[in-house]
Chain A
Amino acid sequence: MSTPADLPAAPELTEPLSQWHRLHVRMLIVRPLNEGIAMLMPILVLLFTGDGEKWRIIASGATVAAILAFSFLLWRTTRYRITDDQVELHTGLLTRKQLSVPRDRIRTVDLTSKPGHRLFGLSAVRIGTGQKDVPGLDGLTLDAVTSEEAERLRVLLLRKAVPPQPAEGEEPAAPSPSDVISQLDLRWLKFAPLSLSGLVAIGAVFGVLSNYADDLGLDVVHDLWGWLFEHPSFSLIGGFAVALVVLGLVLSVPLYVIQFWNYRLTREPDGTLRVQRGLLTTRSVSVEEQRLRGVDIQEPLLVRAGRGAKAIAVTTGLGSKGESNLLLPPAPLSVAHQVSRDVLRVEDDPTTLKLRKHPFAALRRSLFRHIVPWVVIAAGLAIWAPAWAWPIPLVVLPFSALVGWDNYRSLGNAMDPRYLVTRNGSLVRSTVALQRTGIIGWRIERSFFQRRSGLVTVGATTAAGAGIYRVTDVGESDGLALADEAVPDLLRPFLLLEGE
C-alpha cells in the first residue's frame, strides 16, 4: 500500500478555491465500516445468542440501518471550503455547527487513515490551532477526503501558515525535498516488551469484553472474583499472573509493529516537522516548527532499565488523542537525544545537561508520600478485612519506597541560554526541555508541609503541550532564582532579596 510519502510531489497550489466541497462520497461506506468494527461484537452477540428470536434479527437489522442512515445524513449535511483566510466546516444533523478556523492560526495538520479509510484511499484531516481560550476553536476535522486531497491540504494549509522563513544562521539543506531525522530501526523492537504495551492492551480488551458480558447479564468477572475470594490459592493466582505477563510480552511486539511501522520523522521544506507511522491505521502528523516549544524525553521504568526512551513534542495545536505528539517511539536513549538535538536545531541536547539536585528535604517528602499510604491501607485492612489481606500492602511497601527514592533521584533542573530543563517522575521519568521564550507565566505552589521544609514547586505555564511544566520540590530561593533567570524581568518586581 502506498503511504503519503510515496505520493508524487505535491501538486501546485491553485487558489483561491473558495467553492464548497463535500467530504468524499466513499465515506458512505467507510464510516459504517470503521464504526462497524466497533459495532460488530454487539451485533453478533445480539444475533447468535438466544435461539434466533425474531426481535434479535430485527434489532440487528435496525442497528445496521441506523448506522447507514446516520452516515448518509452526515455526509449530506457536511461541507467544507478553504477561502483565502479561513477553513470553514459546516456540519451536523439536528444542531448545525458552523466551524471556521483562521488560516494564519493553523499550527498542525494530522492525517489519519484507519483501515477502512485505506481500503478506499481516504484520509481524515485534523487541523489544529492550539487556541484553547475559545472552546471548539482548537481545531476541526475533515473526515474524510481522498489521500491526494489530504496531502494537498497539508501542503496548502501549512505553507500558508508559515511566513517566508527568516534566515536563521545556518539554513538547512534547502533543495532536498525533506530531511529524514529518524526512521524505524527493527532493533528498537526490543523495547516493545519493556514498554508494557501488551499488558495495557490486554487490560483494554478485558475491559471491553467484561463490558459486553455485563450487558448480556453474564457476571463472569464478578463470579470469578467471588470464587477466588473463597478459594484463595496462591499457585492459581501466581500461574494466572505469569500467563498474563507472558501473553503481554508476546503481544507487545506485534503491537509495536502495528503502531510504529514505517515510522519516519522528517523536516519538510515548508518549515514543518512531520511524523509518519502505522501499519493498519496510518498517521501523518505535521507540526509547524516555529511553534515547537520543546521536547519531552520520557523513560518508562523498564524502558529506562533497557537504556531506552521515547520523545514527545511540546507544541501547540495537537490533540492529545492517540499520541499525536509522539516524535519517537520507544528507542535507544542515544537516538532520543539525537532526535531532540535535530528537532530543536541545537548543538547539544539540553536534556543531557547536568541537572542540579533538589534539597534533601525533597527526599523526605518523596519517601513519605510513597510509604505512608501503604501503611494506612495495611492498617485499614487489618481492621476491616480477612486476616490474609493486610500483609499484601506491606509486601508492596519496599518497592514503593524504592520508587520514592528513585523519584527523588529523578528530580532536577538546569538552564541553558534557550531552554529550561526539568525532570520528574520514576515510573515514567520525564525530562522536559522547554523554550524559555515559550513560558507565559508562573505558578508557584507551596503546601503546608513544603513550607516547613523550605521547598516550593515552581510551575512554568506555556501554551504548548501539558500547559504547565513543574520544577518539583526545589529549594525556595533556588527555585525563585531559576524562574527569575528563565524569563528576565517577569518575576523580578515581586522578589525580595533578604540578608547576606
Chain B
Amino acid sequence: MTLQLRPPRHQVSPKSVLLWTMQAAVFWLVLFIPQLVVFLLVDSPPTWELALLVATGVIGVAHTAVEPSWRYRVHRWETTSDAVYTLSGWLNQEWRVAPVSRIQTVDTKRGPFQQLLGLATVTVTTASAAGPVEIEGLDQETARRLVEELTTTTQATPGDAT
C-alpha cells in the first residue's frame, strides 16, 4: 500500500489566472522591450542579438500562455480546526502544513494587480523562519473570512507557539 497526499479542498479564485497572466506578461515584457529597443536602434545588429530577442519572445509567450492556467489547476488550500494545508507551484510543487496551535500571525496583503482584480494573499506565519504558509489569489471576501476564523482559533490556543 502506498501513501499519497490528497489535494486540499478549495481552489483559489478563478481570477487568479488573470493575475498570474498579468504578472508573467510584465516579467517578460521587462526582458523583451529593452532588447527590442536596442535591436531597432543599433545599425546592423549581430545575429545572436536577433536570436536572443526571438528566444525571449517565444519563451515569454509560451510561459505566459501555459503557466497561469497550469498553476490554477495546482493551487489549492484548506483549513481544518487543527491545521492550515496548501498546495502550490506548477512544474515544481510544494505542500505546506502548519498546525493552528503554532500559528503566530495571520496577514493579508494586496499587490496592485490583486487590488485591480479584487484578490488578496493570506500569509500565515509560524515561529519557523522557513514556515510561512501563503495562500495567493483568494477573493477578498474569502480572505477576510479566513483571517477572521484563523485569528479567532489562534487566540483561543495558549502558549508562545515556539
Contact = CB atoms under 8 A, between A and B. Distances in A.
B160 A105 contact: yes
Interface stretch (B19-27, B53-61, B90-98, B143-151): B90-98
A480 B126 CA distance: 21
Interface string A437-459: 00011111111100100000001
Nearest to B91: A448
A496 B96 CA distance: 16
B125 interface: yes
B97 A495 contact: no
B127 A440 contact: yes
A349 interface: no
Most buried by B among A133, A466, A495: A133
Contacts of B5: 444, 480, 494-496
Contacts of B82: 489-490, 493
B9 to A, nearest CB: 10
A217 B146 CA distance: 59
Q: Which of under 10, 10 to 19, 20 to 34, or 35 or more describes the interface residues of A?
A: 35 or more
Most buried by A among B1, B80, B162: B162
Contacts of B142: none
A490 B84 CA distance: 10
Contacts of B97: 441-442, 444, 490-491, 494
A65 to B, nearest CB: 41
Contacts of B2: 476-477, 497-499
Most buried by A among B3, B4, B6, B161: B3
A480 B130 contact: no
A461 interface: yes
Contacts of A499: 1-2
Interface residues of B, number: 35
Interface in B70-84: 78, 80, 82-83
Interface string B113-153: 00000000000011111110100000000000000000000
Nearest to A463: B127
A461 B3 contact: no
A298 to B, nearest CB: 19
Given A132-B129, A440-B98, A468-B131, A494 B1 contact: no
B59 to A, nearest CB: 17
A15 B10 CA distance: 55
B128 A440 contact: yes
A496 B6 contact: yes
A426 to B, nearest CB: 23
Nearest to A481: B3
A316 B162 contact: yes
Given A133-B105, A443-B130, A461-B131, A476 B94 contact: no
Contact of A441 (B6, B92, B96): B96
B128 A447 contact: no
Contacts of B1: 497-500
B126 A441 contact: yes
A491 B85 CA distance: 9
B34 interface: no
B69 interface: no
Contact of A447 (B80, B85, B92, B99): B92
B104 interface: yes
A85 to B, nearest CB: 14
A445 B92 contact: yes
A203 interface: no
A11 interface: no
Contact of A440 (B80, B93, B94, B126): B126
A442 B96 contact: yes
Most buried by A among B92, B102, B128: B128
A484 interface: yes
Nearest to B98: A441
A441 B162 contact: no
A282 interface: no
Interface of B: 1-6, 8, 78, 80, 82-83, 85, 91-99, 102, 104-105, 125-131, 133, 160-162
5 contacts: A440-B98, A442-B97, A468-B130, A481-B3, A494-B5
Interface of A: 105, 130-133, 291, 316, 440-448, 451, 459, 461-463, 466-468, 476-477, 480-481, 484, 489-491, 493-500
Given A461-B128, A494-B5, A498-B4, 14 more contacts: A130-B162, A441-B128, A442-B96, A444-B96, A446-B92, A447-B91, A448-B91, A463-B127, A466-B130, A467-B130, A490-B97, A493-B82, A494-B95, A496-B6
